[in-house]
Amino acid sequence: MSDAMTEIYRGTYFKDRNKLKPNNKTKKTKRRNPKMTKKELIKNIAEANKTSITKIEEFYNSFEHTLIESITSNEEVTLSSKLGKFILKTRKAYAGRNPQTGEKIKIPAKTVVTFKLSKTIKDKVKDLTLE
């Protein structure tokens, strides 16, 4: 039995439109850095401050709305000296290539949001090692 047939037999591939594709259900990837969701963040803040999750969620949504409004009105937003700041920058136009055809294309200038970490966080993260 060929390797492809063996993998189909084991269920690691499925047939879709006459093409073999990896079956995502059988892939097991190990996440290096766990992610904290909005829900978990709100729960942790509520527990730390002995406040209801509803009040913290209202505060978070208000904070998020204000942050977006400030950034989109071209304001530099600093989140205390311990976190960092959001800055709007303009990226210059540059020449690129279409990866499929190799044809040269011009990529236009655009405005992007950047976040600059504070020195405090940079110093704390500098000595961490990831598994």
What residues does each domain of the chain span?
1-30, 32-75, 77-131
Predicted pLDDT at 29:
57
Specify the CATH architecture of the domain 77-131.
Irregular (4.10)
Question: Amino acid identity, residue 70?
Answer: S
Predicted pLDDT at 89:
93
Is the pLDDT higher at 37 or at 23? 37
Tens digit of each residue's pLDDT (9 = 90 or more) over 61-113: 999 999 999 999 998 999 988 899 999 999 999 999 999 999 999 999 999 99
Mean pLDDT, range 36-64, rounded to an integer: 94
**What's the rounded Cα separation, in Å, for the pair 74 and 16?**
47
Which helix H or strand E contains 89, and what residues bound it? strand 84-91
Q: Which residues of 72-98 are buried (b: 16+ CB within 10 A; e: fewer)?
A: eeeeebeeeeeebebeeeeeeeeeeee
**What's the rounded Cα separation, in Å, for the pair 107 and 92?**
9
Residue 115 reports pLDDT greater than 80: yes
* Mean residue pLDDT across the chain: 82
In the chain, what percentage of residues exceed pLDDT 90? 59
Q: Which residue has the tokens 């079956």?
A: 23
Predicted pLDDT at 14:
47
Q: Are 130 and 32 in contact (CB under 8 A)?
A: yes
Q: Which phi and psi angles does 68 have, rounded to 5°?
A: -65, -45
- Eight-state DSSP code of residue 90: E
